Amino acid sequence: MKNFILISFAIFFLHACGNQETDPNWNSYKTPYFQIKYPEKFEFMKKGQHNEKGDLMLQQAEFFLYLDDSLSSDKDEFQANINLLIQDLSGLSYGLDEFSKSSENQISNLIKNAKIIESKTNKNHHRIKYSGELDGRDLFFYQHYELKNNQAYILTFSSAYRKFEAYLPVVDSVFSSFQIK
């Protein structure tokens, strides 16, 4: 029964978001430094905005995208989201491989029961999937790293572990839409 509910959720979520690669109804967020596209059903919050969730990360992250989780019956459950952090690398001689290895070490040290699921570098970016426990919750994380002009752009998707697979197709499309100018 649990698998049926998860599969039903995945089908609903993918149908609700439409074709991620070509959907003209996706919103776009552009700055002088980057741009990203995302489904219109996602709640967008940019740096400096405050919401009823009281997220402290809005002071650090460039933006948050809260994924539509209308099928969840538990309002206290972790809400899946995507955020972007930009880290200044001035004075460091990090390439993408060194930055990725350093990030993996930080994950292992900061996330309880961290387990690296996948870590791979493509031409201009690195993506890593991992799970772990944070604030007593079993979570899944998926990060996309790009380095440009002494800046590390770190896109992070976070979700309750039991729901992450349903989100991955749309998250991959959002990550693929990300462009540094």
pTM of the model: 0.81
* Percent above pLDDT 70 for the chain: 77
- Dihedral angle computed from the Cα positions of residues 102, 105, 106 and 111, in that order, rounded to the nearest 10 degrees: 150
CATH architecture, range 2-180: 3-Layer(aba) Sandwich (3.40)
Question: Residue 168's pLDDT is what?
Answer: 95
Give which of 140, 152, 143, 88 is closest to 119, Cα–Cα: 143
Question: Residue 113's pLDDT is what?
Answer: 97
pLDDT tens string 40-49: 999 898 876 6
The two beta strands, 179-180 and 151-160, are: unpaired
CA distance 69 to 82: 13
CA distance 152 to 88: 6
Question: Residue 60's pLDDT is what?
Answer: 77
Question: Residue 175's pLDDT is what?
Answer: 97
Task: Pick the range with the lowest mean pLDDT from 6-10, 39-43, 44-48, 81-85.
Answer: 6-10
**Could you tell me the pLDDT band of residue 67, with boundaries at 50, 70 and 90?**
confident
**pLDDT surpassing 60 at residue 32:** yes
Task: Pick the range with the lowest mean pLDDT from 17-26, 31-40, 86-95, 119-128.
Answer: 17-26
Q: What integer is the mean pLDDT of 134-150?
A: 95
Length reported for the chain: 181
CB atoms under 10 Å from CB of 34, counted, come to 20
CA distance 150 to 94: 9
